[in-house]
Amino acid sequence: MSHKQKNLMFGAVLAAMVAAGILAGRCAPSAPKSRRPAGASDLAVAAQATYIAPGDLDEYYLFSSGGHSGQIYVYGVPSMRHLVTIPVYTPYPATGYGFDDDSKAMLGGLTWGDVHHPSLSETGGEYDGRWLFVNEMNGRIARVDLRDFKTRQIFGPMPNISGNHASAFVTPNTEYAMMASRFSAPLANGAAPIDQYATAYKGIIAAVKIDPKSGTTSQGFEIMTPPFDWDLADAGKKVSEGWAFFTCYNSERATGKLEVTASQRDRDYIAVVDWRAAEKAINEGKGDLIGGVKVLDPKKVPGIIYLMPCGKSPHGVDVSPDGKYIVGSGKLQGVTTVFNFEKIQTAIRKQDFTGNEDGIPVLKYEDVKDAEVPVGLGPLHTQFGPDGYAYTSLFVDSAIAKWKMGTWEVVDKIPMSYSIGHLCAAEGDTVSPDGKYLIGLNKLSHGRHLNVGPSQPESSQLVDITGEKMKLLYDAFTEPEPHYAQMIKADKLHPIEVYPKEGNKHPLAIWDVKDAGVTHQGGKALAKVVLVRSTITPQTIEVSQGETVTVALTNIEQTTDELHGFGLLAYNINVVVDPGETKTVTFVANKAGVYPFYCTNFCSALHQEMQGYLIVKPHA
Ligand code: K7E
Ligand code: CUA
């Protein structure tokens, strides 16, 4: 350990002691050498602000995108402690996800997904703590139930959509989650040469319908667009409720080297979608069946979508808490543009258009913009506080700019280490943001951690936004790849700790060891298994080679944290069963022999003894 590292560590320990009150009343220690522009008192304040004493709880849950890991990482804020990983699109041996029959079927043979934007369910524009929807770049949306933090549905791939990036972004009462294609392609899996891109390839803006009671997702509507690359979305709220906004790049309809070919025009677009009108059109039976989905063509169904010009190659689009402003930025510019929803409505009413793109009317930039805010270089995403302030991430400047809505004045900037992408404020995209905390989700960690070789973590930086000036509080490190995250007040979630026995309706559930055993019928074997400390019953599962074997495992515990596992490597079986839960795993016993199985989760002093044998009798 270098002298500098020791100093840093000493500083941290002192700060923690101050925070814990151990040094309270004494003079603050002299400033340790630090790479941060902060003195000892600042460090002590930061330490106190993020220190959660043993046994105490964090104030917020942070649901953070795991990118192409296909997972969601859950952190506590302000401690930034990693609490749990929710596997969504990727098998996760730690919880047995993707191994048992149900979760395996849900994954549909796929073993990864590219998660971008977690979206908490809302009621009246507030997070209601019921579900978390999360998109995947390849046309899927998943629903996580926040009662048990488990993925309960994977919907899609949605036909006609390739590269579903502008998603999941739910509407204020969780009627819909957004979808759109970033990579335009011929619809219905058709084929056309790339030189026909501008005409034969189509973009799609879509929405997935959500059942308000169960959260179950199903096909909503699709709107055909020119082959732009739809990038991000946000749902309107309050005055703009019923509308949704989507950014695009490549309004040039170019192919080839897009960094050049798709940057020729000065402006791209933000699509303004009247989703209620689209819903009504679908309910009236409008639309053409393409690839198994009703697709609305704006030429035939006017009044559902408009385009407003925006700075070249915009990325995020974010609606202010009151729904009045839509913030979007050309990501190569030094300003972010604030569009005014009232002005958009007026322009639409007056039919004040400059032209159209494949039947979609184009609004005038000057008609609909309110301000260009000089936030700094490379504005990507904006989040909101409770007090009329907005926070914009600047990728090129590697900083966050704080600015005031209405006066459009930039009041503060704080550097990020390094190259911030998204940012997340506490309940920052609801109708009533909490303020307090802002997290920069950075693309690179830039050496601010112990060296772990070339594959380095990404970083999340916690910022205090209670005061006039933003203050850096904490560096946390995450696995690839951070995109968006959402932060919800912890007291809005009430997760269960065990599955109540009465609620278990699984047809193969058993609750008494005397019901455990193996039955055989017509080439199939069914083993009903009880898991309870510290025995797997039956201890031997005997089958014949070639039989299709289903093992139904019920964990009959009703005690918090008493999980049991069932591991059997020879057949790639790894199931974890929570208290009160039943899971099945099915396989063909094609290898004769004796194969030990065992409980994988440490469950008691006699956990080691929780074992048994699968005996596969060879063909005679
Ligand atoms: Cu990384 Cu929203 Cu996919 Cu921006 S996205 S940075
Ligand atoms: Cu059950 Cu270990």
Res 453: pLDDT: 93
Could you tell me which residues come within 8 angstroms of residue 190 by beta carbon, excluding any fewer than 6 positions away? Answer: 200
Q: How far is the CA of 560 from the centre of ligand 2 (A)?
A: 14
Tokens of 200: 């034969």
Could you tell me which residues come within 8 angstroms of residue 144 by beta carbon, excluding any fewer than 6 positions away? Answer: 72, 86, 88, 131, 132, 133, 134, 150, 151, 152
Contact (Cβ atoms closer than 8 angstroms) between residue 181 and residue 231 = no
Q: How far is the CA of 151 from the centre of ligand 2 (A)?
A: 24
Res 38: pLDDT: 59
430 forms bridges with which residues in the sheet? Answer: none
Q: How far is the CA of 508 from the centre of ligand 2 (A)?
A: 21
Q: Is the peptide bond before 38 cis (omega within 30 degrees of 0)?
A: no
Q: Which residues line ligand 2 (CB under 6 A)?
A: 564, 599, 601-603, 607, 610
Contact (Cβ atoms closer than 8 angstroms) between residue 49 and residue 466 = no
Q: Is the peptide bond before 54 cis (omega within 30 degrees of 0)?
A: no
Could you say which ligand is closest to the alpha carbon of residue 553?
2
Tokens of 566: 């069932």
Tokens of 184: 């335009």
**Burial of 2 per CB tally in 10 Å (0-12, 13-18, 19+):** exposed
Q: How far is the CA of 382 from the centre of ligand 1 (A)?
A: 12
Tokens of 233: 């979305």
**Burial of 523 per CB tally in 10 Å (0-12, 13-18, 19+):** exposed
SS (HEC) of 380-440: EEEEECCCCEEEEEECCCCEEEEEECCCCCEEEEEECCCCEEEEEEECCCCCCCCEEEEEE
CA distance 582 to 506: 7
**CA dihedral in degrees (131, 170, 166, 119; nearest 10)?**
-30
Could you say which ligand is closest to the alpha carbon of residue 531?
2
- Give the number of residues written for the chain: 620
Name the pTM for this structure: 0.92
Task: Show the low-confidence residues of the chain (pLDDT under 50).
Answer: 1-35
Cα three-residue angle 177-492-46, rounded to 5 degrees? 105
Residue closest to 582 by CA, chosen among 603, 551, 610, 561: 551
Tokens of 541: 């599962």
Could you say which ligand is closest to the alpha carbon of residue 315?
1
| 365 C-beta neighbours (distance < 10 Å), count | 16
**CA dihedral in degrees (410, 415, 420, 423; nearest 10)?**
-60
Q: Is the CB of 532 under 6 A from ligand 1?
A: no
Q: Is the CB of 443 under 6 A from ligand 1?
A: no
**18 three-class SS:** helix
Residue closest to 380 by CA, chosen among 414, 330, 310, 427: 330
Could you say which ligand is closest to the alpha carbon of residue 134?
1
Q: Is the CB of 380 under 6 A from ligand 1?
A: yes
Q: Is the CB of 421 under 6 A from ligand 1?
A: yes
Which residue's CA is minimally distant from atom 1 of ligand 1? 483
Q: What's the Rg (C-alpha) of the chain?
A: 27
The residue written with tokens 């906004």 in the block is 245
Which residue's CA is minimally distant from atom 3 of ligand 1? 116
Atom number, ligand 1, closest to the C-alpha of residue 117: 2
Atom number, ligand 1, closest to the C-alpha of residue 421: 6
CA distance 164 to 166: 6
Tokens of 458: 């990404």
Q: What is the DSSP string of 112-148?
A: ---EEEEEEEEETTEEEEEEEEEEETTTEEEEEETTT
Q: Is the CB of 422 under 6 A from ligand 1?
A: yes
Through-space distance between the first and last CA atoms of the chain, rounded to whole angstroms: 65
